[in-house]
Structure formats: C-alpha cells, structure tokens
Amino acid sequence: MRVLITTSGFAVERSTALATLRDAGVEVVVNPMGRRLTEAEARNLMAEIDPVGLIAGLEPITPSVLAAAASLRVVSRCGAGVDNVDLEAARARRIQVRNTPEAPGAAVAELTMGLMLAVLRRICEGDREVRAGRWPSVPGAHLGARTVGLIGFGRIGRRVATLLAPFGCEILASDPAMDADAARDLGVAVHSLGDLNDRADVVSLHMPLTSDTRHLVDAAFIGRLPAGAAVINTARGGLVDEPALLAALDAGHVAGAALDVFEEEPYRGPLSGHPAVVLSPHAGSRAREVRGAMEAEAADNLLQALRDVGVL
C-alpha cells in the first residue's frame, strides 16, 4: 500500500510522521522535486505511483490530478486550508479529504503580528536604509493607537486577537460564523464587514478562500478604508486584488501592506518593488516545532481515514 507525500516542506530526515506511516505498514514515496509541484507534475506523479493516500501541500489537487490515481482514497492536507483541493471532484470519486486546522494557528498568528509591526513601524525600510549607509528619520505608527479589524474570527483570528490585546489597540472582528462569546471574552467588538471596512486602520485577513471571498479586498473595499490604513494577509492570496492594492499604495491611500500569500506563488509581481510593502514567502506555518506537529497530524489523519474507508 503506497502513500505519496507531495508537500515539499516535509522534513524527511527528522520526521516522526514518516516513522508513524512506516510503522503502520505503509510504503511512503516522497516528492522527488523538493519544491511545490505544478498540476502536470502532480498528475504525472500520481499516475506513476498510484497511491492509496496522499499527504498534500499547496500544489493544485484538481479533478485530473485526483483521477490520475485509480487507487486514491484519502487526501490529507498538511495545512489548514483546502482551497487547492477540488472538493466536489473528491466527493464524486468518494475520496476522503482531511486537513490540519489546529497545528498552524499559533505560528500564523505570530507571523501576523510580526508583519503588522514591521509595516506600522517601517522596520524593513529602516533596515534597508541603515544597510545602505544612511541614518534617516523613519517615523512609524503606534499599534496601540490603531483600530485593528480582523476579517475572519476562527482559530487564527482569535489567536491574533489574544496577541493584540496587550498593545491596547481597539479590536474589531467580522465573521459570518462569529463566536460572539469568544469575541466578548477577548474584548473584541463584533461588527459587520461594512462597518469594519469603514473604521479599521489595520485590516488583517483570516478567512478561507472561496468563490464568495475571492478579491474581497478590492478597489471598492480599499477605497472605504481610512486614509493611511494598512493591509495584512497571512490567509490566502486570492483574498486580495493585488493590482487594486498596488494602485492604492501608489496613491498613498494605503500606507503599507504585508503579504505572506499571493495569487501566484512564487510571487514575482510589481508589489515587490514598492517600498511600503513587506513580503514573506508563504511562511506562516514554517516554524520548526509547528511544522513537525502539522506533519504528525496529517499522518495521523491519513491513517485514520484509511481505516475509516476500510483499506488499512
């Protein structure tokens, strides 16, 4: 029984998850490319290996990729999101899909805070200036004096709210599935998306990418933000209309942005050239301790799902 691991970040040399799979009698094949696969590469590898289970990263798991492996019964995402998996096609083929929502939350929330502070305090800009031999005045903005709007108040949004609280900033949150009790306990004010849009000096995104949320942060949304606002995205790249964000940055309406995720990755677009933008290479969950926990959870999920469908 073969399991294919396509996620490129899997810690092959030190992975307890691999040992767990092998102890269960599973033959493991690891992505030979050492990077994120294209759709064609994923499809070809699936056809070659014909695994019964897949531990997936962010590569596109499209209908053709799923169809390439006749034996496939389970896809276990090493990560919280499943927007790269065609869920309808998986259901049609009776393929179980699992994810790891718990493990990455703390690391993504920490990176969100780091990016937020980097933008407001212009840390990267100051670093570039000092390295160039200059010593300018780089006035930043005080987080404690800002109103921060969290769009999405699930596991990660709530963690970010917890980390924000000691700074003394006003925290707003909007989520269609809002846990009002959790918001109250964290001192977070519940608002409609429109109200948050009008009031937030800093917008931080913590929601899944769906057909309804794609380009949520578009020109109209950005135009309603207070002048000098900042946009932080550690969720999914497709939530932000990148050309609209760049236009607002060039116009000065948005003072800064920090992005860990992009519509096309690796990112090579024009936001790279803007001095008020902080870029990060989809590193939200890439803390060593968290990555190990995600891999272990993905392996456990895979084995349990294989038992559930009766092939293990």
Catalytic residue among 39, 48, 264, 265: 265
Whether 282 is catalytic: yes
Whether 236 is catalytic: yes
Catalytic residue among 282, 291, 295, 297: 282
Gyration radius of the chain's alpha carbons: 21
> Which amino acid belongs to residue 124?
C
- C-alpha 12/C-alpha 17 separation (Å) is 9
- C-alpha 270/C-alpha 41 separation (Å) is 27
> Which amino acid belongs to residue 88?
E
Catalytic residue among 146, 236, 242, 295: 236
Whether 265 is catalytic: yes
Q: How is 195-245 classified by DSSP, letter by letter?
A: HHHHH-SEEEE-----TTTTT-B-HHHHHHSPTTEEEEE-S-GGGB-HHHH
CB 164 within 8 A of CB 186: no
> Which amino acid belongs to residue 289?
E
> Which amino acid belongs to residue 183?
A
| Active site (catalytic) residues | 236, 265, 282
